[in-house]
Amino acid sequence: MRKISAYIILSVLGIFMIYPVLWLIGASFKSNSEIFSSIWFMPENFDFTPYINGWKTSGSYTMGHYFLNTFKIVIPRVIFSVVSSTVTAYGFAVYDFPFKKIIFSCLMCVLFIPQTVMLLPSYTMWQKFGVLDTYIPLVLPSLFANEGMFVFMLIQFFKSVPREIGEASQIDGCGALKRLLFIYVPCIKPAVISVGVFVFLWTMNEFIQPLMYISSVEKYPLTLALRMSSDSTGQGYEYNKIIAISVIGLIPSVSVFALAQKYFIQDITAGGLK
């Protein structure tokens, strides 16, 4: 009886959680008037016009162009973040070096600084470097392990690998880089993949930094293109078209999470066991 009650409660909660997504998909096929007339997610008629008009956009570029711009930011950022965070965490977890505790303390202090505090100094710095209206300010910081949370998380996973394994490989003549690639990384693969998933999702949804650094419409990522598709005066919104573009924009994030779900859950489970 308890199991049945638990399944009922979980099913109801699941419906409440998934219903907004179902409504979003259904609303993309509705007319503006139908969107506000009912909270039921199923449309009266499936009209693909919002998707067609949304993909074409009202400007000079299609949504495909903005998707390409987004991936120009996302792919390098994921690669740089995963590599730099893994190498940095490996150094902190496995090796001893001068001022290690001080440097690690500084890294942890950065976690407590709100990102909004860093926006103006960052903008001023990149302006002096002359790289505004490029993707450099959005991608380059990832090359230097600027996400301290990922470094901290990976350090804990590196420490969970028995030190004897690394020492045995070192005796066999395995260098530091080979130990990282062939011994440690396979042992913490779920955590490394989770870092990549997090960076991918965050970058796909990022709005403030692209808005600050990118001024040319031809370089806009998807988030700015979505905002541009709405009327800034607040009048005459084509809500169905905006929702349709949002649904299309969700596809890469949902696909990546679905493909990496197994490793992502393994990471959470392993973290809970620690």
Tokens 């293109």: give the residue.
225
Mean pLDDT over 83-99 rounds to 90
Under the phi-then-psi rule, with left for phi > 0, alpha for psi from -120 to 50, and beta for the rest, what region is 234?
left
Mean pLDDT over 199-206 rounds to 92
Domain shared by 88 and 217, yes or no: yes
The whole-model pTM stands at: 0.85
> Amino acid identity, residue 13?
L
Mean pLDDT over 156-171 rounds to 82
Q: Is the pLDDT of residue 142 over 80?
A: yes
Domain shared by 129 and 35, yes or no: no
Q: Count how many domains the chain has.
A: 2
pLDDT of residue 258: 84
pLDDT band at 241 (very low <50, low <70, confident <90, very high): confident
Q: Is the pLDDT of residue 272 over 50?
A: no
Average pLDDT of the residues of the chain = 84
- Look at 116-120, 230-234, 244-248 and tell me which has the smallest mean pLDDT: 230-234
Domain shared by 43 and 55, yes or no: no
pLDDT band at 233 (very low <50, low <70, confident <90, very high): very low
Mean pLDDT over 199-204 rounds to 92
Domain shared by 89 and 151, yes or no: yes
Domain shared by 39 and 123, yes or no: no
Structure tokens at 92: 């902190």
Domain shared by 26 and 92, yes or no: no
Domain shared by 257 and 144, yes or no: yes
pLDDT of residue 10: 86
pLDDT of residue 230: 67
pLDDT band at 135 (very low <50, low <70, confident <90, very high): very high
pLDDT band at 266 (very low <50, low <70, confident <90, very high): low
Q: Which residues of 229-259 are buried (b: 16+ CB within 10 A; e: fewer)?
A: beeeeeeeebbbbbbbbbbbbeebbeebeee
Domain shared by 40 and 58, yes or no: no
Q: Is the pLDDT of residue 273 over 50?
A: no
Domain shared by 147 and 232, yes or no: yes
Largest Cα–Cα separation, the chain: 72
CA 77 to CA 196: how far, in whole Å? 9
pLDDT band at 226 (very low <50, low <70, confident <90, very high): confident
pLDDT of residue 232: 46
Mean pLDDT over 23-37 rounds to 84
Spacing of C-alpha 183 from chain mean position: 27
pLDDT of residue 236: 59
Alpha helices, H only, 58-147: 63-94, 100-110, 115-129, 136-139
> Please, which residues have CB within 8 angstroms of residue 126's CB and are 6 or more apart in sequence?
132, 136, 137, 213
In 136-273 the beta strands, taken as DSSP E runs, fall at none
Domain shared by 1 and 106, yes or no: no
CA 245 to CA 65: how far, in whole Å? 13
Domain of residue 226, residue span: 49-273
In degrees to the nearest 10, what's the CA dihedral of 202, 204, 209, 212? -170
Mean pLDDT over 101-127 rounds to 87
- Cβ atoms of 191 and 178 closer than 8 Å: no
Domain shared by 80 and 208, yes or no: yes
Mean pLDDT over 82-94 rounds to 92
Spacing of C-alpha 173 from chain mean position: 38
What percent of the chain is modeled with pLDDT above 70? 92
Mean pLDDT over 158-182 rounds to 81
Domain shared by 90 and 104, yes or no: yes
